[in-house]
A and B are shown apart, each in its own frame.
Chain A
């Protein structure tokens, strides 16, 4: 007995199918766990509530920009995270540069909105600091 007949005789198809299911189930479980990491990190950092998930821009379409919520609060959240990473006081042109690299929409306009809302303020020496609560 050879070939497909032998495979079928020894339950090879069923074994293969089960093996594939085990692998993909494992991968799916792992991806679900990794997806939860931002929420876990946010909770560990003591915010008390997980941050809403960010939409990830697919790498193969770099021209696609993250949609900027018209609500200033969404811009505050996005830029607060960036500024906390940069440290304060921070360089405003550097903030704009990093915003562009991260695919945030309209960084120049957003920075002007944050300035007008006094969420970003100058320190009088050419750098800026975060002022919002």
Chain B
């Protein structure tokens, strides 16, 4: 993936050229096959993923799930969010490509460069916020059904 292509991804679109270059240096494009797991629930979160192509399913122990289809969507954000353990399992519904980041390298980058960190983590937390809202709606329904 080129630097320009990386800057077109939603997560990195606010980065300057120098900031994008730092991120690009620690990124790696990987192909995934249909049915292949990106990560598994409960495992230490080592890798952060940005979807480049293909469809993906992220599911949880209670059987709930959401799907990812758009280029630029992220998953595996537990890599940069405590307790650094995957809370769900991600599997490829189709073959595709992902941009993978070593969790430790990415965390080091956002901690060393506060401006870059704010830009990236702002986007990550927005994504996390959506998923938390999704999880809360599940929890509320469960509580309502019990109460």
Contacts and interface: CB of A to CB of B under 8 A. Distances in A.
Decide whether A and B are members of one complex: yes
A91 B134 contact: no
Contacts of B59: 91-93
A60 interface: no
Contact of B93 (A109, A125, A128): A109
Contact of B64 (A108, A116, A127): A127
Interface residues of A, number: 18
A119 interface: no
Interface string A101-133: 000001011011001100000101111100000
Interface residues of B, number: 23
Interface of A: 91-94, 96, 106, 108-109, 111-112, 115-116, 122, 124-128
The secondary structure that dominates the B interface is mixed
A92 B134 contact: no
Contacts of A128: 65
Interface string B8-46: 000000000000000000000000001100000000000
A126 B134 contact: yes
B57 interface: yes
Contacts of B91: 108
Nearest to A122: B66
A116 B34 CA distance: 16
B115 to A, nearest CB: 35
Given A112-B94, A125-B134, 11 more contacts: A91-B64, A92-B57, A108-B92, A108-B93, A115-B55, A115-B93, A125-B137, A126-B60, A126-B64, A127-B63, A127-B64
B35 A125 contact: no
A24 B30 CA distance: 60
Nearest to B61: A93
Contact of A93 (B65, B92, B94, B137): B65
A108 B65 contact: no
The 5 closest A-B pairs by CB, nearest first: A126-B64, A91-B63, A112-B93, A93-B59, A112-B55
B130 to A, nearest CB: 11
A124 to B, nearest CB: 7
